[in-house]
């Protein structure tokens, strides 16, 4: 523009305070733009008394450190931590971007490492690590192909620890469930900033805690997966408390996934039932008791254990509207399975009494629920009445 005495830079400077930062270094970098740090440990030593799970041999454990946690295309994985079991050793490989320009080469190496892998094992990798790697693959014209299976441990972690620990972050699980206590661990929120400082100064020293953090994370996945598989798939109960309901659900899911109904999966369903009962016993909250009983009921129905089913519902409901709901279930078992219409009617009458009492104390149950009780009771009484009378009634 004519007469403009200010440069664009001047005007930009007016937009905000410029943060003080170390001077950028763009020269003097030697060596490749990406490097691999490899570490080996004897598997026996690593796993202690227990042996690695046989399927670990075809699994690749992965955890990335990134320039941001927001996701989207502009988040760069600057450190990809991998672990695998090979030749009696636990190997960790850390692909590190010494410079951002090494990304395509790094992704190329990762692509190669992924070729023989059957299962990718991550913690929240479905939502975070893998989509970022996939996006960066496209941007760097080095597209990655996902291994046939992706075992994201976060699902199991949530089921097993969210309720007892109030969180299912990897670090909390590691401490409480795996008994590993890290010293001097870097705060995950600071990692992007540390890497940016490194990019500007070339001083990799301050990144050492990040490398260690990442190595610990990915090794933790090996332990976690082995434990989760023992507890879920092998039906061994964990020594320390977990969410027993969650464990039961995980076991049922695994049994359903095998589909063949073989002895092993039948045994696993039995193991699931055991921990679900354990969960029900320990539970006070009526809504949770209802939920757990609803998970147990199909197992008893499938094996036609009607008396046990009756007992389950009789004891599941403790108070309030949940008591009404469980009494309806009691009535169903009595009427259809045990052929005891009178006892079914008695259960429904009790449900009506509970409903009336709740209404009188200012906590009426949902009208739809009350209607359901009434309708069932009416049908039951009509079925019990002599036919002739009913006809005349019309």
Partner 1 sequence: MTLEQILTALRTDPAWARNITAWHLVPERPGRYEPIPDDVDGRLASALRGAGIEQLYTHQAQSFEIARSGRHLVVVTPTASGKTLCYNLPVLNALLSAPQTRALYLFPTKALSMDQVDELQTLVRALKADIKAATYDGDTPGAARRAIRTAGHVVVTNPDMLHAAILPHHTKWLRLFENLRYVVVDELHTYRGVFGSHVANVLRRLRRICRFYGSAPQVIFTSATIGNPKELAERLLEEEVALVDDNGAPSGPKVIAFYNPPVINRELGIRRDALSEAGRLAGEFIRNRIPLIAFARSRRACELLTARFQSVAAGHQIPPERIAGYRAGYLPSERRAIEKGLRDGSVLAVAATNALELGIDIGRLQAALLVGYPGTVASTWQQAGRAGRTQDLSAAILTATSDPLDQYIVRHPEYFFGQSPEAGLVNPDNVYILTSHVRCAAFELPIESGERFGPRTLPEVLDYLEKQRIVHREDDRWHYVADAYPAQDVSLRSASTENVVIIDTTDPAPRVVGEVDLASAPGLVHEDAIYLHLGQQYHVDRLEWEERKAYVHRVDVDYYTTAQIAVDIRVLTEFAPGRPHTGMVCGGPAHGEVVVTYRPTIFKKLTLERHENVGWGPIHLPESTLHTTAYWLALPILPVPQHELQGLLIGLSHSLAHVAALFLMCDPRDLGRTYEVHSPHADRPTVFLYDAFPGGVGFAERLYRMHHQVLSAARDLIAACPCDSGCPSCVGPVLEVGSTGKALALEVLDARLIPDARR
Positions touching partner 1 (CB under 8 A) are 1-9, 11-16, 18-19, 21, 24, 26, 67-74, 76, 99-101, 134-135, 138-139, 192-193, 195-196, 199-200
Q: How far is the CB of 187 from partner 1 (least distance, A)?
A: 13
Q: How far is the CB of 135 from partner 1 (least distance, A)?
A: 4
Contacts of 184 (CB under 8 A, 6+ apart): 209
Looking at beta carbons only, is 6 or 382 nearer to partner 1?
Answer: 6
Q: How far is the CB of 101 from partner 1 (least distance, A)?
A: 6
Give the Cβ contact number of residue 356 at 10 Å.
Answer: 13
Contacts of 37 (CB under 8 A, 6+ apart): 93, 94, 96, 211
Looking at beta carbons only, is 183 or 189 nearer to partner 1?
Answer: 189
Looking at beta carbons only, is 18 or 183 nearer to partner 1?
Answer: 18
Looking at beta carbons only, is 150 or 163 nearer to partner 1?
Answer: 150
Answer for the pair 238, 231: CB distance below 8 angstroms, yes or no: yes
Measure the CA–CA gap between 144 and 77, rounded to whole angstroms. 14
Measure the CA–CA gap between 345 and 335, rounded to whole angstroms. 8
Measure the CA–CA gap between 311 and 78, rounded to whole angstroms. 57
Which among 268, 248, 249 is positioned nearest to 259, based on CA atoms? Answer: 268
Measure the CA–CA gap between 204 and 85, rounded to whole angstroms. 28
Q: How far is the CB of 217 from partner 1 (least distance, A)?
A: 18
Q: How far is the CB of 338 from partner 1 (least distance, A)?
A: 43
Q: How far is the CB of 32 from partner 1 (least distance, A)?
A: 14
Looking at beta carbons only, is 71 or 241 nearer to partner 1?
Answer: 71
Looking at beta carbons only, is 6 or 258 nearer to partner 1?
Answer: 6
Secondary structure (H, E, C), 107-158: HHHHHHHHCCCCEEEECCCCCCHHHHHHHHHHHCCCCCCCCCEEEECHHHHH
């Amino acid at each position: 523009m004519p007469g403009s005495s200010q440069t664009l830079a001047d005007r930009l400077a007016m937009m905000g305070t410029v943060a003080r930062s170390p001077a950028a270094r763009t020269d003097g970098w030697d060596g490749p733009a990406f490097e691999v740090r490899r570490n080996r440990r004897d598997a026996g030593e690593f796993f202690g008394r227990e042996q690695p799970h046989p399927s670990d041999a075809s699994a690749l454990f992965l955890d990335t450190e990134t320039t941001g946690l927001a996701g989207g295309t502009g988040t760069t994985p600057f450190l990809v931590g991998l672990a695998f079991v090979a030749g009696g050793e636990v190997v960790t490989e850390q692909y590190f971007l010494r410079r951002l320009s090494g990304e395509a080469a790094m992704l190329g190496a990762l692509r190669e490492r992924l070729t023989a892998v059957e299962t990718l094992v991550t913690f929240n990798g479905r939502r975070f690590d893998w989509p970022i790697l996939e996006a960066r693959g496209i941007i760097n014209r080095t597209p990655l192909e996902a291994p046939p299976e992706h075992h994201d441990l976060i699902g199991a972690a949530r089921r097993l620890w969210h309720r007892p620990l109030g969180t299912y972050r990897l670090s909390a699980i590691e401490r409480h469930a795996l008994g590993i206590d890290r010293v001097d661990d870097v705060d995950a929120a600071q990692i992007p900033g540390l890497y940016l400082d490194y990019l500007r100064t070339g001083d990799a020293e301050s990144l050492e805690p990040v490398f260690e953090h990442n190595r610990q994370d990915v090794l933790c996945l090996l332990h976690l997966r082995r434990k989760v598989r023992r507890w879920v798939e092998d039906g061994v109960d964990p020594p320390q408390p977990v969410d027993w309901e969650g464990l039961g659900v995980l076991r049922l899911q695994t049994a359903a996934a095998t589909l063949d109904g073989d002895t092993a999966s039948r045994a696993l369903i039995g193991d699931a039932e055991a921990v679900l009962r354990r969960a029900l016993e320990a539970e006070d909250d009526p809504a949770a008791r209802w939920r757990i009983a609803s998970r147990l009921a199909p197992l008893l129905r499938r094996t036609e254990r009607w008396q046990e089913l009756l007992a389950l519902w009789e004891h599941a409901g403790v108070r309030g509207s949940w008591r009404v709901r469980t009494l309806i279930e009691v009535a169903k078992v009595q009427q259809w399975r045990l052929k005891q219409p009178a006892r079914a009617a008695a259960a429904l009458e009790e449900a009506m009494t509970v409903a009336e009492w709740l209404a009188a104390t200012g906590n009426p149950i949902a009208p739809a629920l009350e209607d359901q009780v009434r309708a069932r009771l009416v049908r039951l009484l009509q079925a019990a009445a002599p036919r002739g009378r009913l006809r005349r009634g019309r």
